[in-house]
């Protein structure tokens, strides 16, 4: 009994083993550095699709092909082909509605066509006070966008390299080879065309400083690059 008690007392007096985590390994210079870069490029649009959201003021008139003709005629006078102007498919027969979307597609749009269209729509609405264009959605597409995309990518890669070189200098190191690259291209549709979108309307501020900006496709690219450093 005395022997058991002595062994128990000795066990209680012995220090308990402590779990020690392995020391954190310092990051070595040759493991690399990751940076990001952003780039952009622009090109004139190949196609512009204009969606006009039209309503009837105080439900004064029913919107149909006849009552919407002032807007359609104004678009035609601006240079849009009548076959490229689309009204909702439900505007047939005795259909009645007070809100519609008029869509017009323009191939190779010009600044003159844009300015004529704005002036023509303004005049048509003045002469048709029961029609209201609440706002307009503009979708610009660029058919052959590979050169523009490449310009944006080059700009993004240059910015990433400059960021990495600056950080390396602060560490007293030098950049080595590229270890990995991840690129994200923005503003492309399902058919691989570059696109830009914006909204015009009474509650929208002036987004651009030049008329040509309204017909310019803007492409942005983001890249993540990992460099070896030494």
CATH fold, domain 47-142, is Alpha-Beta Plaits (3.30.70)
At residue 30, the pLDDT reads 54
- The per-residue DSSP string of 7-49 comes to HHHHHHHSPPP---PPPPPPPPGGG-EEEEEEEEEEEE-SEEE
Question: How is residue 141 written in tokens?
Answer: 């597409």
Cβ–Cβ < 8 Å for 164, 189:
no
In the chain, list all ranges with CATH 3.30.70.100. Answer: 47-142
Rounded CA separation 183/196 (Å): 19
Cβ–Cβ < 8 Å for 215, 45:
yes
Cβ–Cβ < 8 Å for 32, 226:
yes
Cβ–Cβ < 8 Å for 39, 186:
no
Rounded CA separation 168/166 (Å): 5
At residue 25, the pLDDT reads 40
Q: Under CATH, domain 31-43+145-195+216-229 is a member of which superfamily?
A: Protein of unknown function (DUF541), domain 1 (3.30.110.170)
pLDDT tens digit at each of 230 positions of the chain: 444 344 333 333 444 444 444 443 444 545 789 999 999 999 999 999 999 999 998 888 888 888 899 999 999 999 999 999 998 877 765 666 788 999 999 999 999 988 888 888 888 888 899 999 988 999 999 998 889 999 999 999 999 999 999 999 999 999 999 999 998 877 777 677 889 999 887 666 667 888 899 999 999 999 999 999 88
Cβ–Cβ < 8 Å for 215, 140:
yes
Rounded CA separation 111/48 (Å): 12
List residues bridging with 196 in a β-sheet. 140
Count CB-CB contacts under 10 A for residue 85.
20
In the chain, list all ranges with CATH 3.30.110.170. Answer: 31-43+145-195+216-229
């Amino acid at each position: 009994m005395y022997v058991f008690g002595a062994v128990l007392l000795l066990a209680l007096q012995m220090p308990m083993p402590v779990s020690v985590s392995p020391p954190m390994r310092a990051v070595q210079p040759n493991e690399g550095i990751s940076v990001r870069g952003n780039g952009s490029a622009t090109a004139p649009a190949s196609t512009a699709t204009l969606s006009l959201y039209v309503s009837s003021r105080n439900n004064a008139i029913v919107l149909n092909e006849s009552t919407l003709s002032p807007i359609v005629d104004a678009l035609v006078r601006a240079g849009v082909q009548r076959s490229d102007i689309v009204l909702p498919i439900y505007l047939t027969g005795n259909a009645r509605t007070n809100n519609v979307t008029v869509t017009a597609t323009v191939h190779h749009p010009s600044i003159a066509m844009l300015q004529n269209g704005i002036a023509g729509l303004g005049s048509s609405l003045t002469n048709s006070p029961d029609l209201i264009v609440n706002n307009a959605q503009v979708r610009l597409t660029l058919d052959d966008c590979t050169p523009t995309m490449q310009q944006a990518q080059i700009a993004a890669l240059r910015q990433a390299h400059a960021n990495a070189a600056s950080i390396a200098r602060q560490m007293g190191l030098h950049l080595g080879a590229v270890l990995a690259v991840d690129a994200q291209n923005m503003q492309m549709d399902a058919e691989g065309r570059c696109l830009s979108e914006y909204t015009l309307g009474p509650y929208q501020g002036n987004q651009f400083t030049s008329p040509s900006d309204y017909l310019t496709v803007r492409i942005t690219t983001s890249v993540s690059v990992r460099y070896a450093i030494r």
